């Protein structure tokens, strides 16, 4: 059986989805099981850790992250990280 994973992140995503293995689907299901906690979610291996701030250990939605046009974001408490895996300096000349 094949699984598809659709993801809408803070600054990017895969709106058409992508095929994933059953092992990866299980890893995602485990990572996003209640209670939703940073240490569990980071095991999913998503580039933006599903909106979690590593320092706050809290999830923030796209309206709470402040993201510059280069894909670097800061959480409401001012901690920052790259949120766009497709960012490249050449894209923003």
Domains held by the chain: number: 1
Tens digit of pLDDT for each residue in 32-63? 999 999 999 999 988 899 999 999 999 999 89
List the one residue out of 70, 15, 10, 78 whose CA is nearest residue 46.
10
Does residue 90 carry a pLDDT above 80? Answer: no
User: Domain of 66?
Assistant: 3-92
Q: Structure pTM? A: 0.79
How many Å apart are CA 76 and CA 27, to the nearest integer?
A: 29
User: Does residue 42 sit in helix, strand or coil?
Assistant: helix
Does residue 92 carry a pLDDT above 60? Answer: no
Tens digit of pLDDT for each residue in 2-19? 899 998 888 888 888 889
Beta bridge partners of 72: 82
């Amino acid at each position: 059986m094949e699984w598809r994973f659709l993801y809408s992140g803070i600054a990017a995503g895969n709106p058409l989805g992508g095929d994933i293995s059953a092992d990866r689907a299980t890893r995602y299901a485990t990572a996003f099981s209640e209670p939703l906690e940073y240490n569990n979610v980071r095991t999913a291996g998503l580039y933006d850790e599903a909106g979690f701030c590593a320092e706050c250990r809290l999830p923030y939605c796209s309206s709470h992250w402040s993201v510059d046009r280069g894909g670097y974001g800061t959480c409401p408490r001012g901690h920052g990280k790259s949120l766009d895996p497709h960012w490249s300096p050449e894209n923003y000349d």
